[in-house]
Amino acid sequence: MTFDKDFFIGAATAAHQVEGNNIHSDYWAQEHMVHTDFLEPSGDAVDHYNRYAEDIRLMADAGLNAYRFSIEWARIEPEEGKFDDTEIEHYRSVIRTCKENGIEPIVTLLHFTSPKWLIAKGGWESDDTPALFARYTRYVMERLGSELRYVCTINEANMGIQVAAIAKRYEQQMRAMQAQQGTVSESTVQMGLNLEKMMANQKAAAEERMQIFGVPKAECFTSPRTPHGDEIVMEAHRAARAAIREVAPEVQVGLTLSLHDIQALPGGEENAAKEWADEFTHYLPAIEGDDFLGVQNYTRTRIDASGSLPAPADAELTQMDYEFYPQALSNVIRRVAQDFKGTLLVTENGIATADDTRREEFIKTALSGVTDCIADGIPVRGYLYWSLLDNFEWQKGYSMTFGLIAVDRTTQKRSPKPSLALLGSFLAQ
Ligand code: BGC
């Protein structure tokens, strides 16, 4: 199995997860709360901000030809309306280093983190946000647009509504447990829960957020989204796309979506159809007119009449507790291609595991699915593995190892795993 030289085989990262010291961002603020939900703060991350040249060289040495990374809004516009040109120069240098190494830079303009000031203004539920995002986009693209060919406006534009669905399910379970505790002793709940303390913590965290952001609810990009907030995200994409078309018309524009391989079990057809509509089809009007769609997939979801099911009892689980199911990627590509007729780019696909031989297996199976899709005429332009480096997996901190390259965070020493060279070997030399 080999891909033509003009197919992208590469890896992805996001600024906050790898660069370190993203001090003006909403995530940084929340990581440092007393009542934080984060296992640990991001700190220096894997110091990619200073070590990007080494990381890009490692990719090139292994034969990769594309790198997806994000530009950090909180660095470019640390205070509302005050833009920092030295940060533009930083990203210009990252882009140039990619090109010097024969690597296509694929940029994302928003990968979950926002400037702290944006959240103080109502964040991703505020009607002002699309225009603010478009202004930042324009600023970046006026300076860097001529050096880029592919730009993703927003990473996983559908994440907020997925989080809202999970939060709702969790709340229902909590309420059921609370009701149970009212009448039955705590020991009947089948886990070591301390509801009283949890509730007190939630209240204290809300008060702390109020102090930090000055608003009763911090509407970060990955906070549970309302349908109105979902509209705002789509509007932000459209506004950014219009800005890019105006200042850098040669650039191919798209967004990325988190997509599960949704499989209906008998009786689950209706639930599964609803899930796919929420996750994908209701975004079609917003992405109509995009040049490409970034497909991001990690596993499958099986659904029956009662809703989503846990992984089968005998399934192999990843560190994230996802079912090891690399076949999911080609299933998702085929399904998306039924409705979206533009180019598809796999902007994320990967596995968190300590066993690199399982990563190799995962990549091989996923890529063979991609080959079949291409043979069937689906326009897949590239495959970007998540992630180049072991990195900061949001609230889970550094415990999840998705990387093709391991990092010792005490010395920041890089150690490529065999999967890095394996990935590169699929590209015709
Ligand atoms: C996100 C990444 C994240 C990855 C693995 C995707 O949802 O875009 O930021 O690290 O999944 O969980």
285-317 pLDDT tens trace: 999 999 999 999 999 999 999 999 999 999 999
Determine, yes or no, domain membership for 63. Answer: yes
Determine, yes or no, domain membership for 351. Answer: yes
Residue 150 contacts by C-beta under 8 Å, 6 or more apart in sequence?
104, 105, 106, 107, 251, 252, 254, 292, 345
5-15 pLDDT, tens digit per residue, is 999 999 999 99
- pLDDT at residue 318 in the model: 97
Determine, yes or no, domain membership for 265. Answer: no
In angstroms, what is the span from residue 3 Cα to ligand 1's centroid?
Answer: 25
Query: Measured in Å, how far apart are the chain's first and last C-alpha atoms?
Result: 13
- Do residues 268 and 301 make contact, with C-beta atoms less than 8 angstroms apart? no
Say if ligand 1 is within 6 A of residue 258 CB. Answer: yes
Write out the two tokens for 380: 């897949």
Domain hosting residue 280, numbered range? 8-260+275-302+324-424
Determine, yes or no, domain membership for 267. Answer: no
Say if ligand 1 is within 6 A of residue 156 CB. Answer: yes
- Strands 307-308 and 150-154: what pairing? unpaired
- pLDDT at residue 426 in the model: 98
**Average pLDDT over every residue of 41-67:** 98
- The 3 state secondary structure assigned to the chain is CCECCCCEEEEECCHHHHCCCCCCEHHHHHHCCCCCCCCCCCCCCCCHHHHHHHHHHHHHHCCCCEEEEECCHHHHCCECCECCHHHHHHHHHHHHHHHHCCCEEEEEEECCCCEHHHHHCCHHHCCCHHHHHHHHHHHHHHHHHHHCCEEEEECCCCHHHHHHHHHHHHHHHHHHHHHHHHHCCHHHCCCCCCHHHHHHHHHHHHHHHHHHHCCCCCCCCCCCCCHHHHHHHHHHHHHHHHHHHHHCCCCEEEEEEECCEEEECCCCHHHHHHHHHHHCHHHHHHHCCCCEEEEEECCEEEEECCEECCCCCCCCECCCCCECCCCHHHHHHHHHHHHCCCEEEEEEECCCCCCHHHHHHHHHHHHHHHHHHHHCCCCEEEEEEECCECCCCHHHHHHCCCCCEEEECCCCEEEECHHHHHHHCCECC
Say if ligand 1 is within 6 A of residue 30 CB. Answer: no
- Do residues 389 and 402 make contact, with C-beta atoms less than 8 angstroms apart? no
- pLDDT at residue 77 in the model: 99
User: Ligand 1 atom closest to Cα of 393?
Assistant: 10
Neighbours of 210 (CB within 10 A): 13
Q: In which band, very low, low, confident or very high, does the pLDDT at 198 lie, cut at 50, 70 and 90?
A: confident
**Is 70 exceeded by the pLDDT of residue 44?**
yes
Rounded alpha-carbon distances, angstroms, from residue 371 to 41, 207, 319: 39, 52, 27
Q: Is the dihedral of CA 264, 268, 274, 278 positive or negative?
A: negative
Pocket test for ligand 1, best of 386, 387, 391 (most atoms within 8 A of CB): 386
Determine, yes or no, domain membership for 2. Answer: no
Percent of the chain scoring above 70 in pLDDT: 97
- Quote the number of domains for the chain: 1
Residue appearing with tokens 């000031």: 117
Say if ligand 1 is within 6 A of residue 386 CB. Answer: yes
- Do residues 362 and 311 make contact, with C-beta atoms less than 8 angstroms apart? no
Determine, yes or no, domain membership for 188. Answer: yes
User: Ligand 1 atom closest to Cα of 159?
Assistant: 7
- Do residues 125 and 172 make contact, with C-beta atoms less than 8 angstroms apart? no
CATH of the domain at 403: 3.20.20.80
- Do residues 304 and 311 make contact, with C-beta atoms less than 8 angstroms apart? no
Determine, yes or no, domain membership for 429. Answer: no
Percent of the chain scoring above 90 in pLDDT: 90
Question: Which residues are known catalytic residues?
Answer: 156
Question: Which backbone phi and psi does 408 adopt, to 5 degrees?
Answer: -85, 110
Q: In which band, very low, low, confident or very high, does the pLDDT at 181 lie, cut at 50, 70 and 90?
A: low
In angstroms, what is the span from residue 170 Cα to ligand 1's centroid?
Answer: 21
- pLDDT at residue 169 in the model: 81
In angstroms, what is the span from residue 390 Cα to ligand 1's centroid?
Answer: 12
- pLDDT at residue 191 in the model: 61
Query: CA–CA separation, 256 vs 49, rounded Å?
Result: 23
Say if ligand 1 is within 6 A of residue 393 CB. Answer: yes
The crossing angle, in degrees rounded to 10, of helices 129-144 and 227-247 is 30
- pLDDT at residue 188 in the model: 46
In angstroms, what is the span from residue 9 Cα to ligand 1's centroid?
Answer: 18
Say if ligand 1 is within 6 A of residue 390 CB. Answer: no
In angstroms, what is the span from residue 296 Cα to ligand 1's centroid?
Answer: 9
Neighbours of 267 (CB within 10 A): 11
**Average pLDDT over every residue of 120-149:** 98
For the chain, give the number of residues: 429
- pLDDT at residue 186 in the model: 42
Q: Pick the residue whose CA is nearest to atom 7 on ligand 1.
A: 258
Determine, yes or no, domain membership for 163. Answer: yes
Partners of 68 in beta bridges: 12, 106
- pLDDT at residue 351 in the model: 98
Say if ligand 1 is within 6 A of residue 97 CB. Answer: no
